[in-house]
Amino acid sequence: MSANIIEIEHVSKRFGRVVALDDVSLTVKQGEVVVIIGPSGSGKSTLLRCINHLESADSGRIVVDGIPLTEAKNIDKVRAEVGIVFQLFNLFPHLTALENITLAQRIVRKKPQEEAERIAHQLLAKVGIPEKANAYPAQLSGGQQQRVAIARALAMQPKIMLFDEPTSALDPEMIKEVLDVMLDLAKEGMTMVVVSHEMGFVKAAARRIFFMCDGHIIEETTPEGLLTGCKEERTRQFLSKILI
Amino acid sequence: MVSNEGNDIVREIERMAPAQEAQSRPFLLRIDRWWLLFVGVVIITSLLIIKEPDPYRRIFVFLQDGIRVTLSITVVSFLLILLAGLIGGLGRVAKNPIINGIASIYVEIVRGIPLLVQLLFIYYASPVLLRDLGLRLSSIWPTLSAKLISVKLNPFGAAVVGLTVCYGAYMSEIFRAGIESIPKGQMEAARSLGMNYFQAMRYVILPQAVRVILPPVGNEFVALLKDSSLVSVVAVADMTRRGREFMAFTFIPLETWMMVALLYLVMTLFFARVVAYMERKTSFVR
């Protein structure tokens, strides 16, 4: 049960002369909710995107569900097990909410149309917008779009869910509806890696918190640890800015 | 969810507003006014043909099979051009340097040579090239050699190949631009769901790109219809060539070329309207 489902060992990644990740190591156990925080440009999103190989690490080793990514024969198979939710939703604008959720089920999982639609309706109900099945993304609010995006990722029945600042592009009043869906997922025991500064979510769901700065993980703590004080000066500085 | 209800209603109204506005305007203003120009040109052309048997109806009757050839060469070439553009465009956005290089060289070379010269090359020069190649191969591969030496180009086929090679290069650039106009996040989202590159292209990127490129692709069709007049130099009896033949034994250039010009105009105005209509039908809100 508590096996490591994600193992990141000494991973480095640079974009030209910019070092995005510098010798980062991190493991996530099955069913764990891990939150990564840190200032912008610290490498949080890059680290997340390395886990489903949207970015490939320059050096080091990443093992997801027992499969080392660099040696994976079929990266698409690994990706189907790892759902990701983006900051800007990235829904397919030419498809309805329902079609967004059924597309990959049909062509990747080879599910028949009716079964894919049944699952899609269930998931839309789960994220609280069953009535929006036939709406196009442009007809939905940001919060609704993000919830469709979560349903789309869940439709693949992933073992891991990655969230890349899922609420940063949302109006304040829509943030809660997305966080509620994420909290439900956490309660159900989904393994989650979340890049977010939503302290409400961090306190309620996170088991461990990593603070990243300049491509390094400089501190690991827990929600209680955030309150009682952090060891590193840089972490305290950052938290004092976002906790007000 | 409660907070969104207001927004939904506003969106709904915004979506319906233009339609209602259009409904309340009188019919003549509501239809695309360029249709009137088309109708006007059709009426003038028809009147000339009906009221003036000599020479306009005679010219029209003589041109008739040319019209058929012009239309069929345009349609057949255009279908092949779409295929060439799709393949060329995918090649131009490919990361593989060999595929990308081949596609880029094709586009750059073809765009640098006038269409007329390409048509002349394919019809008059390429059989010579094939024959020379055949002669050299005669000792190594006699069967292929014999085929190459005896090759005889059918004018229609040569014209289709010439138009496809040339317009395919321009069409590749249109497809490339269309594919590149789709935000990077779309490919990332599709790949993250486990789709491979071609599935993501087929189901996510291309359906969106097609809507973007529809106007330029439609313009290419109209441009191709006009440029098809160049195939008259390679022995294809299209409308332009039939016009020249008619003029050669009647010596009435004014009426002949007036009729030819009007018939091209009827066709191009019609297809330009069809393109505009399709554009409106398939546009969608991002």
pLDDT of A206 higher than 70: yes
- Nearest residue, CB atoms, A138 vs list B7, B189, B285: B285
What tens digit of pLDDT does each residue of B160-216 get?
Answer: 999 999 999 999 999 999 999 999 999 999 999 999 999 999 999 999 999 889 989
Place of tokens 């009716």: A114
- Nearest residue, CB atoms, A104 vs list B193, B211, B285: B193
pLDDT of B285 higher than 60: no
User: Against a cut of 0.90, is the pTM above it?
Assistant: no
Lowest model confidence (mean pLDDT) among A147-151, A202-206, B146-150, B241-245: B146-150
> Quick one: tokens of A145?
């779009």
Chain B residues with CB-CB distance to A109 below 8 A: 194
pLDDT of B86 higher than 80: yes
Spatial distance between the Cα atoms of B261 and B180, rounded to a whole number of angstroms: 38
Q: What is the mean pLDDT of chain A?
A: 90
Split at pLDDT 50, 70, 90, the class of A210 is very high
Determine the pLDDT at residue A230.
75
Apex B115 CA angle, B100 and B117, nearest 5: 110
Determine the pLDDT at residue B284.
55
Determine the pLDDT at residue A1.
47
Determine the pLDDT at residue B2.
41
Determine the pLDDT at residue A98.
96
What tens digit of pLDDT does each residue of A95-110 get?
Answer: 999 999 999 999 999 9
Place of tokens 């800007």: A88
Contact B120, B234 (CB under 8 A): yes
Determine the pLDDT at residue B150.
81
Determine the pLDDT at residue B1.
39
Split at pLDDT 50, 70, 90, the class of B101 is very high
Lowest model confidence (mean pLDDT) among A85-99, B8-22, B264-278: B8-22
DSSP-based three-state secondary structure for A135: coil
Chain B segment 199-218 residues within 8 A of A by beta carbon are 199, 203-204, 207-208, 211
Determine the pLDDT at residue B25.
62
The CA-atom distances, in angstroms, between B109 and each of B104, B169, B217, B223, B231 are 9, 9, 21, 20, 20
The CA-atom distances, in angstroms, between B173 and each of A161, B162, B164 are 38, 18, 14
Closest residue, chain B, to A137 (C-alpha): B286
A43 close to B (CB below 8 A):
no
Spatial distance between the Cα atoms of A186 and A180, rounded to a whole number of angstroms: 10
Spatial distance between the Cα atoms of B4 and A243, rounded to a whole number of angstroms: 28
Pairing outcome for strands A4-15 and A59-64:
antiparallel
What tens digit of pLDDT does each residue of B16-61 get?
Answer: 444 444 455 666 566 667 888 899 999 999 999 988 888 889 999 9
Give the full edge-to-edge strand order of the sheet including A18-29.
A18-29, A4-15, A59-64, A67-68
Split at pLDDT 50, 70, 90, the class of B4 is very low
What is the helix, strand, coil percentage profile of chain B, to 5?
Answer: 85, 0, 15
Mind telling me how many Å the CA of A234 is from chain B's nearest CA?
Answer: 32
DSSP conformation class of A138? G
Record: contact A80-B193, CB cut-off 8 A: yes
Chain A residues with CB-CB distance to B212 below 8 A: none
**A21 strand-pairing partners:** A13
> Quick one: tokens of B44?
């003038």
What tens digit of pLDDT does each residue of A16-35 get?
Answer: 888 999 999 999 999 999 99
* CB half-sphere exposure, A57, CA atoms < 13 A: 26
Split at pLDDT 50, 70, 90, the class of A224 is confident
What tens digit of pLDDT does each residue of A43-93 get?
Answer: 999 999 999 899 988 999 999 988 888 777 778 888 888 999 999 999 999
> Quick one: tokens of B169?
């290069």
pLDDT of B3 higher than 50: no
Spatial distance between the Cα atoms of B109 and B101, rounded to a whole number of angstroms: 12
ipTM of predicted complex: 0.91
Q: What is the mean pLDDT of chain B?
A: 87
pLDDT of B239 higher than 50: yes
Please state whether A87 falls in left (phi above 0), alpha (psi between -120 and 50) or beta.
alpha
Chain A residues with CB-CB distance to B190 below 8 A: 92, 104
pLDDT of A183 higher than 70: yes
The CA-atom distances, in angstroms, between B116 and each of B70, B126, B217, B229 are 16, 14, 21, 10
For an interface test with A, give the residue of B95, B188, B192, B201 to mutate (most A CBs within 10 A).
B192
Alpha-carbon dihedral sign for residues B189, B195, B201, B204: negative
Mind telling me how many Å the CA of B94 is from chain A's nearest CA?
Answer: 17
What's the whole-number mean pLDDT along residues B88-110? Answer: 95
Mind telling me how many Å the CA of B194 is from chain A's nearest CA?
Answer: 4
Mind telling me how many Å the CA of B106 is from chain A's nearest CA?
Answer: 31
Compute the residue count for chain A. 244
- Nearest residue, CB atoms, B185 vs list A52, A86, A143: A86
